[in-house]
């Protein structure tokens, strides 16, 4: 009897286990079929579902499904304004920044540039004065004159810039801010020093060659440091046969200096000269025939310097000379840029400085044209 009861109990337990297993299999099959029917892949083994967000559930059940706005925080999202989402819209910024080009004076390229070790640069210029004499084979030799010297001390000053940028700007900008600032500083320095080489007054800056005393006296007759000018023949304009006046300007420069000489004028003056023709219809101005070579006027190169004045009454609008012999540029060193993130937090300053001077070294090597009757 006992054995029969035990066998019956075992059968019941085995039947229950089979029923439970069959129920589990059916439930699992239903979940898998439902996943495939809904277009979703069944979850992989070990993947745990995330917890349900109450706020999200309330938003879905109350607002999206039932249209109830009570208790639901509503916000508009638009790219039209920054606060409504416009800040999140990606913006394409060109990493190369275009800038308006500045006219940079090319005087440095034709002048004599000297690197100095200190600010006190001096240059001695011999004014001649040696006197020679003739004598017989046994005749006495008298003492001759000795040369005289003139000292040229180019006025100098410090050219500086000190722009600032926030650290966040440097970190987040889509372009190289530091490289861009360095390029802007170098271009601005080139334009500023070029203007000083032409029109600088010598007060904490170079002295421009147009600020020296101009006279119509020839070499040897005028005072040292003054420049000779040739009159155009009319106030604020060229007289008849302007090519004759230009030839007079060229020939006023002595032959030793004409080797390497060039014309210097701005584009407005050059536009007037480019229209000039000889009696047989040939243009005085000749374009360059090869790349890298400047155009020529009467066989000499023409350098455009926008700091030269336009043609006007008594203006010194054209210069002709050997600027390598006539004008000296003394600079202490190249432009130095100091990155300073400490002085004015959270801004980073870029302090750039350049010490430079300039002056006329040989007043016989540069001639000017004055637009006046005489």
Q: What is the mean pLDDT of residues 202-215?
A: 94
For the question of whether the overall pTM of this predicted structure is more than 0.85, the answer is no
Q: What is the mean pLDDT of residues 216-230?
A: 91
Burial class (CB in 10 A: 0-12, 13-18, 19+), 347: middle
For residues 13 and 53, what is the distance between their CA atoms, to the nearest angstrom? 42
Report the top-level CATH class of 107-127+146-370.
alpha beta
| More confident of the two residues 287 and 47 | 287
Q: What is the mean pLDDT of residues 266-279?
A: 90
Token pair recorded at residue 36? 């495939």
DSSP structure class, residue 67: -
Is the model's pLDDT at 292 over the cut of 80? no
Nearest Cα to 155, choosing from 195, 197, 109? 197
pLDDT of 273:
92
Q: What is the mean pLDDT of residues 59-65?
A: 58
Neighbours of 207 (CB within 10 A): 23
pLDDT of 6:
53
Q: What is the mean pLDDT of residues 50-70?
A: 61
pLDDT tens column, 148-198:
777 888 888 998 888 888 888 778 777 777 777 777 888 888 889 999 999
pLDDT of 104:
73
For residues 325 and 161, what is the distance between their CA atoms, to the nearest angstrom? 31
pLDDT of 47:
43
């Amino acid at each position: 009897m006992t054995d029969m009861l035990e066998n019956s109990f075992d059968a019941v337990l085995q039947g229950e286990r089979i029923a439970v297993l069959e129920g589990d299999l059916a439930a699992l099959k239903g979940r898998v079929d439902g996943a495939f029917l809904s277009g979703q892949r069944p979850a992989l083994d070990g993947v745990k579902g995330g917890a349900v967000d109450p706020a999200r559930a309330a938003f879905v059940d109350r607002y999206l499904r039932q249209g109830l706005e009570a208790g639901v925080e509503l916000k508009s999202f638009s790219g039209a304004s920054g606060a409504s989402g416009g800040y999140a819209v990606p913006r394409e910024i060109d990493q190369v920044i275009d800038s308006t080009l500045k006219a940079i004076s090319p005087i440095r390229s034709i002048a004599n540039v000297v690197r100095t070790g200190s600010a006190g640069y001096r240059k001695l210029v011999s004014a001649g004065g040696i006197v020679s004499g003739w004598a017989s084979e046994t005749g006495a030799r008298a003492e001759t004159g000795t040369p005289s010297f003139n000292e040229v001390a180019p006025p100098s000053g410090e050219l500086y810039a000190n722009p600032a940028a926030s650290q966040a700007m440097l970190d987040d900008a889509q372009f190289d801010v530091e490289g861009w600032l360095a390029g802007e500083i170098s271009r601005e320095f080139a334009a500023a020093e070029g203007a000083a080489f032409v029109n600088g007054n010598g007060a904490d800056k170079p002295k421009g060659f147009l600020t020296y005393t101009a006279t119509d006296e020839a070499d040897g007759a005028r005072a040292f440091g003054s420049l000779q000018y040739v009159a155009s023949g009319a106030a604020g304009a060229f007289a008849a046969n302007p090519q004759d006046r230009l030839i007079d300007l060229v020939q006023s420069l002595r032959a030793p200096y004409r080797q390497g000489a060039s014309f210097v004028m701005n584009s407005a003056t050059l536009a007037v000269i480019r229209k000039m023709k000889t009696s047989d219809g040939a243009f005085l101005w000749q374009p360059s025939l090869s790349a890298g070579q400047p155009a020529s006027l009467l066989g000499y190169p023409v350098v455009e310097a926008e700091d030269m004045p336009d043609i006007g009454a008594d203006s010194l609008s054209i210069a002709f000379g050997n600027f390598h012999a006539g004008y000296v540029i003394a600079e202490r060193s190249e432009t130095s840029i100091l990155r300073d993130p400490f002085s004015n937090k959270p801004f980073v300053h870029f302090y750039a400085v350049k010490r430079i001077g300039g002056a006329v070294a040989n007043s016989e090597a540069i001639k000017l044209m004055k637009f006046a009757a005489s």
